[in-house]
Amino acid sequence: MCYYGLGFGSSSWLWGVMGLIKILVVVAVIIWLVKLATKNNYKFNNFSNNATHILHERYVNGEIDEEEYLHKKKILKS
């Protein structure tokens, strides 16, 4: 018996490409899920930083005293 080519038939390269596409789709979905999870976390951190910035501006402008500033800053950090 004589075999020509790779011995898997003429479509063996197609199965390899399909396997590679499946792997790429899985990797793309994982990357998308990670970006989605970190985007929501970024919004929360941005809100916290914005609140801290407003608190600092109120302290600098003399609207609140140091004791109130430190108390509210501690609450925002926790």
Cβ pair 51, 74 in contact under 8 A: no
Predicted confidence (pLDDT) per residue in 27-55, tens digit = 999 999 888 877 765 555 565 678 888 99
* 67 pLDDT more than 80: yes
pLDDT at position 7, please? 54
Cβ pair 52, 78 in contact under 8 A: no
Q: Say which residue, 19 or 8, is predicted with more confidence.
A: 19
pLDDT at position 71, please? 94
23: buried, middle or exposed (CB in 10 Å: 19+, 13-18, 0-12)? Answer: exposed
